[in-house]
Amino acid sequence: MTIVSFEVAIDRFLHHLANERNLSAHTLEHYARDCRRFAEWCAAQGVSDLAGLDIHHVRGALSQLHRQGLGGRSLQRWLSSLRTFFHFVIREKWLTHNPAIAVRAPRSPRKLPKTLDADNAGRFVELAGDQPLAIRDRAILELFYSSGLRLAELVGLDLANLDLAAATVRVLGKGRKERELPVGSHACAALHHWLQSRPLLADAGCLALFVSQRGQRLSARGIQDRFHKLSITQGMASRIHPHMLRHSFASHLLESSGDLRAVQELLGHANLSTTQIYTHLDFQHLAKVYDAAHPRARKKPDNSPK
C-alpha cells in the first residue's frame, strides 16, 4: 500500500470531483474545506499521511468540531464529505477500509424552511421603478418566485437559457443536471422589460442574463445584498433571502396542487424525501386554518365541576 500525504490525496480527490464527476465550484469548495478540516486535526495529532487511519481518528475530529459548536446537519455533511473522500482513497489503493463509514453525527432537530405567505410574496416581488436596476431586480424577484430557482442557478443563467416565446428557462442544477422550468406570466413580462433595458448596463459580449452596474455577470453576493436592501425598501417584517422565495414557490405550489412529485421535479431534488419537508409546511397551514375555523377547535372544553 502506497503511503500518501493528506495534501496530495486531497488535491487528487478534488481533481477527480472536478473532472470526472463535473461538480460545481461551490460544491468543490465544501469538499475541500471538509477534508482539510480533518487533515488539520490529524496534523495536530501528529498524523501526516493516510496510513494507519482508523475510526478513532474520525470520531476524535468529529468530537472536536462538535465542541466548537458545529451543529448536527453541518457534522453530517462533513462526515459525508469524508466518506466520499475515503471511497476515492480506497479506489486509488491508498487505504483498504473507510474509517468514516460507521461514524454517526449527533442528530439535530430538523428546521422547517422559512416561507412568505402568498400576499407577502406578491408584495415583495412587485417592485416599483423604471430605472434599469429596478427593472433588473424586479425580473430577478419574479423569476425566483415564479420558477423556484436556487441562487447559483439564477446566477449562472445566460441569455440563451431563456425562451420567453415558450415561457421556459433552462437551468443547470446540482450535479450539473439540466432541467427546463416554466416561467409564469408576471415573470415573463418582467423579464421582457429587463431584456429591453439590459443593453444599458451589459458589456459587449457578456452572455449573462443578469448583470451588475459594471456590466458583468451579477454575483451571488450581489444578489444577496440586493435582497437585504429590498427587504427594507419593500417594508418586509424581516430580512428576505433568495432561498426564501424558492421555499415559498414550493410551499404555495404544493398547497394548491398537492402533487409532491411535480414539485420535486421543478425543484430539481434528487430524492423525494428532500421535497417532503414542504408537506410539513402545508400541514402547519392546514392546522392554523382548522384552529381558526372549526367550532370544536376554537374553544377549550370547560372541565370545571358543575
Return the active site residues.
Answer: 150, 174, 243, 246, 269, 278
> What is Dmax (Cα atoms) for the chain?
84
CB atoms within 10 A of CB 20: 9
DSSP 16-54: HHHHTS---HHHHHHHHHHHHHHHHHHHHTT--BSTT--
CB 181 within 8 A of CB 148: yes
CB 6 within 8 A of CB 158: no
CB 194 within 8 A of CB 146: no
Work out the burial of residue 13: count CB atoms within 10 Å of its CB; fewer than 13 is exposed, 13-18 middle, 19 or more buried.
buried
Residues 12 and 174: their CA atoms lie apart, in Å, by: 22
Beta strands across the sheet bearing 162-163: 162-163, 168-172, 178-182
CB atoms within 10 A of CB 114: 13
- What angle is formed at CA 194 by the lines to CA 191 and CA 196, rounded to 5 degrees? 115
Locate the DSSP E strands across the chain.
162-163, 168-172, 178-182
Nearest residue to 228 via CA among 213, 211, 244: 244
Residues 166 and 285: their CA atoms lie apart, in Å, by: 34
CB 152 within 8 A of CB 268: no
According to DSSP, the β-strands at 162-163 and 178-182 are: unpaired
